[in-house]
Structure 1
C-alpha cells in the first residue's frame, strides 16, 4: 500500500500541470460553449431552425453531434459533447501510454520493478491516476454546464458521459501500450482509435433517421460502434439515461483485463507486436540522414496516410447515404439545396470540405511528428552520434523538413485519391474530380504551418518543442474548427490556420489565405534552417 501511494504521488506530481490544463480546459470549454449558445440562440425557435438546417446538412452532423430537440440543454449537448469526449479520450490515452510503455522505454519501469513494488503496482497506480483524472473531467463538465445555467440533472449525466468515455479510452490506451513496442507507436495508434471513434459517431449521426419535426435524430448503426456514440445515447437534458454508460465502462473493464493479462506474461520492454530482428549491416539505402529519417518515421507516416485514405473513401458512401436519406424530400432540405446551388455548391461539396478538414488535421499531425522526432533523437543523445559523422546540423534539419513536407503531401494526396475513387464509384456527379483535388490542395498550407513553426521552436527553444508543438495544433483545431460552435470571437478564431483554409468554389474561390499561410511556412522554415547553423545540440 505504501508503494502504491508513493507511485500515485509521483504520477500526480509529474502530471500536475498537464492534468490541470486538460481538466480546466475541458471544463472551461463546456462553460463557454453553453454560455455562448444561450446568448446566441436564446429562443427555442432559433435553435429549432438551426437543428432543421443541421439535420438537412449531414456534413454539419459529422462535426457536431446527435440532435435531440431544441431545448437549451439538449442543443448544448448536441453542439459540444462529441468534442468534449474526444478531448477526454485523447487525455486518457496519452496518460496511459506515458505511465506504461514510455517508462519501459526509458528503463524506469524496470528499476521500479526491482523494488518491492514489483511490476503490477505501477499499473494499478496508473489506473487510479487515470480514473481520478476522468472523475475530475466529469466534475469539470458538470460544473461548467451548471454554472452556465443548465439543468443540474442533465449536467450530471453529460459530465458522467464524458468521464465514462475517457475511462473507456484509458483502458484502450493501457492495452495498446502492451501491444506496441514504442511509446510513439502506442500514442499514435491510441490517438487513431479515438479519432476513429469520433468519425464513426459522425457517420452514425449523419446517416441517422430524423423525426417529422426535423429537430430530433435517431443515430445510425455506425454510432453504436463508437464509445463517443455510446455517450451520446444518454440523451442528457432530454432523457437523462444512465444505462448507456455501462457500454464504455464495460469496454474499459475488458481492455484493462486484457492489458493486465499481457502485463503478467510478457517481459519488461517486450511487446506483443514486437520489432522483427534487424539486419547485421544496414542496407545501402541508409547511407544518408534523410533516408535514415524516412526509416525512423515510416511507421507513423504510413499510419497517418492510411487514416487520410480511409477518410477519403468515406466520401462516396456518405454521399450516397445522404442522397438517399428520407430527409431528401423535406422543405428545409429543398430550400437548403436551392441555396447551395445558387452559390455553386452541392451537399456533396459541403461534405467533402468537412471530411477534408479532418484530413487536414491528420496531415498537420503527420508533419508535426517529423519535428518531434528530431527533438526525441536529440534528447536521447542519438543526434550527437549522427552529427559526429560528416553531417551538418543544417542538412539534418533540412532532411526532416523535406520529409515532413512529403508526408503532408502524401496524406492529402491519398485523401484526395480515396474521395475521387469513392465518388466515381458511387456515380455522384455533383462534384467533379478537379474540385476534389482542389479541396485536398487547399489543406496543404495550413498543415505546413504545423511543420515549419514547430521547427522554428525546435531551433530557438528545444526543450519546448514537443509540448508547444502539440499545444499549437490543439489550439488551432479548437479555435479554427470548433471555435464557431462555442461562440469564440472571430479575432481569436482568425489566429488558427484552419480558419483561413480556402473552400474551393469554382472561379470564385479566395486563395489569398492559402498564399499567406504558405509564405509564413516558408519564412519560418528558412529562419529555422538558418538559425540551426549556430545552435548547439544537447539532451537538455
Structure 2
C-alpha cells in the first residue's frame, strides 16, 4: 500500500494545480449542460400532453432513438432531462476522465518526470493514485451539483440522486479505462488514442442498441456499453440502483488491474511491444513539414473518420428530426434560432454544420497546442539548434489546425450530404449544398487556432487557456439559443457570425473579418515566438 500512496498528498496538489484552468472549464460546461437542459425542457415541454407527444415521436423513430436514446417516462421533467442529458453527458465526462488520467500518468512518464519523482519519496503507483483521485473528485463534483440542480427545480430526490450517480459512475469507469490504457500503451498519445477508441466504441454500441428498440434483435448491444449502462439506470423512471453498482464494480476491477500491471511492467515501457523502426529515416523527414506530418497524421486521420461518420449519422436522421419538429412548435422555434433559416430541414442541417464546426475547433486547438507540447517535452530545442528555423518549424505544425480543420469540415459535410441524400433523395444536390455549408464554417474554426498560437508565442505558460476559450464559446453556442440568451452574448462566439447554410444568405463580410482576425492572431503568435526564449 505504501508503494501506491507514498507522497500522494503533494502529488495530488500538483495535479490539481496543473488542472486549475482546464478542470473548472470542463466541470462548468458539464454542470451548465444539465442546468441548461432542465431549463429548456421545462420551456419546450411544459405539460404532460406535450411530453407524451415527445415520447411517442422518439420511441417510435429508430433514428431518433439512436441519436438520443429512448424516453422511458414522461410523468416528470426530470425523466426528460435524464433522457436528453445522459448519453452525451456520459460521453463528455468519460472524455474528461480519459484526458485527466492519461495526462498525469503515461504522459508524465513519457516526459521523464515520473522517474525523477520515483527516485525520491514518491511510490511507484502514487502518480496513478493521484490521477484517479483527481478524476474521482471531478466526477463527484459533477454528480453532486447535478443532483442539487434537479432538487432545486423540485424534482424527486431519488431520481435526482440516480442521475447524479450515473454521471459520476460513468466517469469513474472511463477513468479505469484510461488507467489500463496507460499501462498498455507506451506514449501519452497512444494511450489517449486507445482510450478514445474505446469511448467511441461504447457510444456506437449504445447508438446501435437503442436504434434496435427494446424488443429488437440488437438491443443487447446497449449492455456492452458503459454509456448504455448510464442510460439503463433510468433516473426518475425505474431508478435501477443495481446498474450503478455494476458500473462501480467494473470501475474498481479496471483500477485494480491497472495497479497490478503497473507494478509488474518496467518503468517507461508498455505492454504493447515496440515496433522496430527502419535503419534509415525516409527522405520526408529531412524537413520540418515531413516531421509535422509524421507527428500529426494519426490524429488527423482519426478525426477525419470521426467527422465523416458523424456527418453520415446526422444526415441520415434528417427525416426523423423533421417529424419531431412537426410535433412541437417550441422545438421548431428553437431550431430556427439555432439554425437561422426558415425551412425545418435547412434549419436542422445548418445546426448540424455548427456542431461539426465545434468538433473541428476542438481538433484545431488540440493540434495547435502540439507546439507547446513539443517545446515543453524538450523535442523542439534540438531541432531549432540546427538548420530548422523557428518559423518553418511552427508553420509545419500549424498547417494541420488550418488545412486539417478544413479537411475535417469537408469530411463532415460530405457525410451529411450523403446521409441526407439517402433519406430524402437527390444525394448529389444535397452533397454539394452541405459541402458549401461546411466550408463557410472554416473561418470560425481558424479563429481558435489563431488564439492558441497567440498564447503560445506571447504567453506560453497560458497556452492551455485556449481550451478554456473554446469551452466558453461552445457553451454559449450550444446553450445560448436554448435558454433564450441575449444576442450580445451569442455574438461573443464566432459560430454566430458565419452564414447559416443551407438555406440562409451567404454574407462574405463576416467571413473576411474572421479570416483577418485569425491572421492577426497567428502573426502575433509567430512574432512572439521569434523573440522569446524557447523552453
Give the TM-score normalised by structure 1.
Answer: 0.81
Distance 1:416 1:372 in 2: 26
Gapped regions of structure 2 (runs ≥ 5): none
Distance 2:331 2:146 in 1: 34
Distance 1:114 1:479 in 2: 46
Q: What does the per-residue CA deviation read over 1:397-448, in whole Å, with 9 as the maximum and x for residues that have no partner?
A: 3333223212112222333344445556678337622112123213322221
Q: Which one of 433, 437, 440 corresponds to residue 439 of structure 1?
A: 437
Distance 1:329 1:386 in 2: 56
Match of 1:332? 327
- Count of paired positions: 521
Structure 2 CA distance for partners of 1:173 and 1:483, relative to 1, 3 Å: farther
Instruction: Say what the alpha-carbon RMSD is for the aligned residues.
Output: 4.0
How far has the Cα of 1:13 moved from its partner?
A: 0.5
Note if 1:97 corresponds to 2:102: yes
How far has the Cα of 1:159 moved from its partner?
A: 0.6
Q: Secondary structure at the match of 1:236?
A: coil
**Which moves more between the two structures, 17-26 or 521-530?**
17-26
CA contact (8 A) 1:105 1:269 kept: yes
How far has the Cα of 1:357 moved from its partner?
A: 4.1
Q: Which one of 456, 466, 470 corresponds to residue 458 of structure 1?
A: 456
CA contact (8 A) 1:29 1:486 kept: no
Q: What does the per-residue CA deviation read over 1:55-84, in whole Å, with 9 as the maximum and x for residues that have no partner?
A: 799888777664331622223323433443
Match of 1:151? 156
How far has the Cα of 1:245 moved from its partner?
A: 2.2
Match of 1:214? none
Q: What does the per-residue CA deviation read over 1:306-340, in whole Å, with 9 as the maximum and x for residues that have no partner?
A: 212322343565568x49xxx96998399999x99
Q: What does the per-residue CA deviation read over 1:374-415, in whole Å, with 9 as the maximum and x for residues that have no partner?
A: 111222333232222333333333333223212112222333
How far has the Cα of 1:115 moved from its partner?
A: 6.0
CA contact (8 A) 1:33 1:76 kept: yes
Distance 2:57 2:446 in 1: 33
How far has the Cα of 1:160 moved from its partner?
A: 0.5
Q: Secondary structure at the match of 2:282?
A: coil
CA contact (8 A) 2:360 2:409 kept: yes
Distance 1:84 1:2 in 2: 36
Distance 1:31 1:408 in 2: 31
Distance 2:505 2:57 in 1: 24
Q: What does the per-residue CA deviation read over 1:453-475, in whole Å, with 9 as the maximum and x for residues that have no partner?
A: 1111111111111x212222222
Distance 2:417 2:284 in 1: 34
Distance 2:370 2:418 in 1: 33
Q: Which one of 510, 513, 523 corresponds to residue 526 of structure 1?
A: 523
Match of 2:190? 185
Q: Which one of 463, 488, 493 corresponds to residue 491 of structure 1?
A: 488
Note if 1:107 corresponds to 2:105: no
Match of 2:241? 242
CA contact (8 A) 1:56 1:336 kept: no
Q: Secondary structure at the match of 1:94?
A: helix
CA contact (8 A) 2:181 2:194 kept: yes
How far has the Cα of 1:301 moved from its partner?
A: 1.6
Q: What does the per-residue CA deviation read over 1:332-372, in whole Å, with 9 as the maximum and x for residues that have no partner?
A: 399999x99xx77465x666555544432332222222321
Match of 1:215? none
How far has the Cα of 1:31 moved from its partner?
A: 4.4
Q: Secondary structure at the match of 2:286?
A: coil
**Which moves more between the two structures, 254-263 or 176-185?**
254-263
Match of 1:286? 285
Distance 1:470 1:498 in 2: 16
CA contact (8 A) 2:307 2:409 kept: yes
Match of 2:231? 232
CA contact (8 A) 2:57 2:324 kept: no
Match of 2:379? 382
**Which moves more between the two structures, 103-112 or 467-476?**
103-112
Gapped regions of structure 1 (runs ≥ 5): 211-218
Distance 1:336 1:493 in 2: 19
Distance 1:400 1:266 in 2: 34
Match of 2:15? 15
CA contact (8 A) 1:32 1:487 kept: no
CA contact (8 A) 2:176 2:252 kept: yes
**Which moves more between the two structures, 171-180 or 359-368?**
359-368
How far has the Cα of 1:302 moved from its partner?
A: 2.0
CA contact (8 A) 1:311 1:355 kept: no
Q: Secondary structure at the match of 2:159?
A: helix
Note if 1:76 corresponds to 2:81: yes
Structure 2 CA distance for partners of 1:263 and 1:163, relative to 1, 3 Å: same
CA contact (8 A) 2:41 2:81 kept: yes
Note if 1:370 corresponds to 2:350: no
Match of 2:251? 252
Q: What does the per-residue CA deviation read over 1:5-54, in whole Å, with 9 as the maximum and x for residues that have no partner?
A: 44431343123353762556644554455456557765545656666777
How far has the Cα of 1:105 moved from its partner?
A: 1.1
CA contact (8 A) 1:65 1:81 kept: no
Match of 1:216? none
CA contact (8 A) 2:457 2:527 kept: no
Give the TM-score normalised by structure 2.
Answer: 0.82
Structure 2 CA distance for partners of 1:86 and 1:512, relative to 1, 3 Å: farther
Distance 2:42 2:78 in 1: 9
Q: What does the per-residue CA deviation read over 1:275-331, in whole Å, with 9 as the maximum and x for residues that have no partner?
A: 5323444322222222221112222222212212322343565568x49xxx96998
CA contact (8 A) 1:481 1:498 kept: no
